Structure 1
Amino acid sequence: MIGLPVVCCPALTYASQFSTSTAFSTQGIGVASKVQLTVQEVSSPRTFTHGVTRLTDIVYATPDGHRPLTLDLYLPQRPVGHRPLIVYVHGGGWSSGHSRVAGAFEDFPAVLARFAAQGYVVASLNYRLSAEAAFPSALEDVRTAVEWLQERHRDYGVDPSRMAIWGSSAGSQLAALAALDCNHSANRTAPCAKVLISWFGIFDFSTLVKDLRFAAIIQASRRYLHCPDGPCAAATLNAASPINHIGKSAPSVLLIHGMADQVVPSQQSEAMAQALQRQGVQATLLLLPDVSHSFVGKDQIATRAANYAALEATAQFLGEHL
């Protein structure tokens, strides 16, 4: 484990060192000094180390009047039996982003393939962005993708009762709503997620919009919530805020955030962890000092250390709870 110190609220469950008990390794994972924005051109399928295969651009839905929505699947070698499922939801302020790009990782598909090498089936999905459709369209897309995967669990060797939803930044807000408000439809019979993983997530719009230090994400949230020219209605803010959707059936939750985040305040994750604890939900909060959004540190060494720490903590949490 990389010796990166972490701090947290004493009343919450946390670890000052995550000693990964799984065989997950960060060795060779490329981390740049800044956020990566370019989507790599790929062919399908692509074979990674340890026999992991990726199937790309699988269409899971085509909403009326919109482009086909796709996901990539990362399958472990001989994907037979009942494998746990990880569903990844990308960030990008609800207005940009792609299923193959995350933070400063030089090759995020290789990161997802590392999890598949541990025996998980991993799905990374695209959804409608705010310029295409406002809230709750992206949330509906995430829910549709989850249901699509669970319905086809036999095709991919998935155990539908062992599912984690993992999101970063804006993707964390979508992942959290999908995981916490699982029984949104009376017709839904599939199991809910057992684990929620959040990296530098957004959970309470009502407090976010009051902090003028974070103007960029405030404006992005207004576009997403379809109120770009002025304050959003309180009912809209509340409906879109995962902190208001915590029930007793909520999954185990890991929240990781950089304490020097200049895009999304770390107080978003702190408040969410406290709210989860008040509801009796198992929540682990990992705060990384001197680390900004996308786990970018003061230099490339610090950025690599922060990203590796987040990956190792995520791998350990999944191994323990999924």
Structure 2
Amino acid sequence: MPLFSFHAARLAAAGLLLTLALSARAQHFTPAPRDTSFTTHSAFVKAKKQHPSITVARPPVPKNVRTAPGLTYCTLPGGRELKLDVFYPKAKRRQQFPAVLIVHGGGWRSGDRAQHHPLAQQLAARGYVALTAEYRLSTEAPYPAAVQDLKTAVRWLRAHARSYHIDTTRVASWGFSAGGQLAALLGTTNGDPLFEAGPCYRSRSSRVQAIVDADGTLAFIHPESGEGDDRKGPSAATLWFGASKTERPDLWQQAAPLNHVSAQTPPILFINSGVARMHAGRDDLRRQLDALGIYSEVQGFPEAPHPFPLFNPWFEPTVQYTVNFLNKVFGK
């Protein structure tokens, strides 16, 4: 090869490498588009029209609660960092507490983990280590990435149990709306390899020993379900699955906690509003649990709007129902 051709080839190769490097950096630093259609404020404005006396629940932070915010629980290929916040009680040297992973709602597309900081703080004040975790939404990754992320968060908390005095034999998932569906799916798929993806803490268990589902659907293709109405455009569930329920019914069935109940399913508390479609499949699931001798209970606010856990007067009773259930299940 002539000398000038050799140098030209080297320059071309160097240019290509630089382009690839810059492209990789751009991908690394480019966040997924954020959908802000569901926020505490927007939900409040909507709910206040029918419930003019409600207020956003922001109780004072209890003095015995410590906070570790913005921790990375897993770094995915490409550099994407998944974050969580830990709220935990002050502890004596050998003291241990049960843990609760809290999952926000927002149609698998919107919402934010900070929406449940007040709940996490109140649970921590009552003797629980509470974690609020982000997960990849449908704007970034389709099903089943969200539940895979949350199982990774459970593995993270077990890996860091000593730092926060966590009793790893007593771990619960708590979720609202889409987060309730995810919390229930997380717990009903204990040990299922389909959902055990991700590079982080694979030697740890992602099992949970209790579930609290606040208005999260238990079934997508079900007479009680309102998910998948695409007449005015793709529904939240269609966007999450990447296909309508007629195109990929297998995925819609696979993501239903109702279809994963087994003898390994932990006890479940259902806390529900008066919006019946938000807990589709609940009664069928409870019948399966009864047949297996697994404890469940239902607490409800028939007059409440769907986002009741975010607002007074339902916030404090939601906290108390959660604590009473977990204390019973965990023997506190």
Tell me the residue number matched to 1:83: 97
Q: Among residues 229, 232, 256, which one is paired with 1:241 in the alignment?
A: 256
Tell me the residue number matched to 1:153: 161
What's the CA shift for 1:35? 6.3
* Cα 1:232/1:82, change in 2 over 3 Å: farther
Residue ranges of structure 2 left out of the alignment (5+ in a row): 1-42, 49-59, 197-201
* Separation in 2, partners of 1:188, 1:243: 28
- Maintained 8 Å contact 2:274/2:303: yes
Q: Deviations over 1:193-250 (max 9, x none)?
A: 221001001111111796489669981011111115x634221112111101111121
Farther-moved stretch of structure 1 (163-172 vs 180-189): 180-189
Tell me the residue number matched to 1:200: 215
Q: Hey, which of these two has a bigger chunk of helix by percent?
A: 2
Equivalences for 1:1-322 in 2 at 5 Å?
48-65=61-78, 67-78=80-91, 80=93, 81-101=95-115, 108-185=116-193, 190=205, 192-207=207-222, 211=226, 219-227=235-243, 231-260=246-275, 264-295=277-308, 304-322=312-330
RMSD between aligned residues: 3.0
* Separation in 2, partners of 1:182, 1:210: 24
Q: Name the % identity.
A: 26
* Separation in 1, partners of 2:275, 2:122: 28
Calculate the TM-score normalised by the size of structure 1: 0.74
What's the CA shift for 1:180? 1.4
Q: Deviations over 1:58-92 (max 9, x none)?
A: 00112223631100000211364221111111111
* Cα 1:214/1:236, change in 2 over 3 Å: closer
Q: Deviations over 1:117-176 (max 9, x none)?
A: 112111110000001000110111001110111122112211110111101111111111
* Separation in 1, partners of 2:270, 2:46: 22
Larger Rg: 2
> What is the DSSP-based 3-state SS (H/G/I as helix, E as strand, rest coil) of the residue aligned with 2:187?
helix
* Cα 1:253/1:210, change in 2 over 3 Å: closer
- Maintained 8 Å contact 1:259/1:266: no
Say which structure, 1 or 2, has more relative contact order (CA 8 Å, 6+ apart): 1
- Corresponding pairs, count: 268
One-letter amino acid matched to 2:163: D
What's the CA shift for 1:50? 2.6
Q: Deviations over 1:79-122 (max 9, x none)?
A: 64221111111111000111111xxxxxx423311111112111
* Separation in 2, partners of 1:134, 1:209: 24
What's the CA shift for 1:314? 1.1
> What is the DSSP-based 3-state SS (H/G/I as helix, E as strand, rest coil) of the residue aligned with 1:272?
helix
* Cα 1:161/1:218, change in 2 over 3 Å: farther
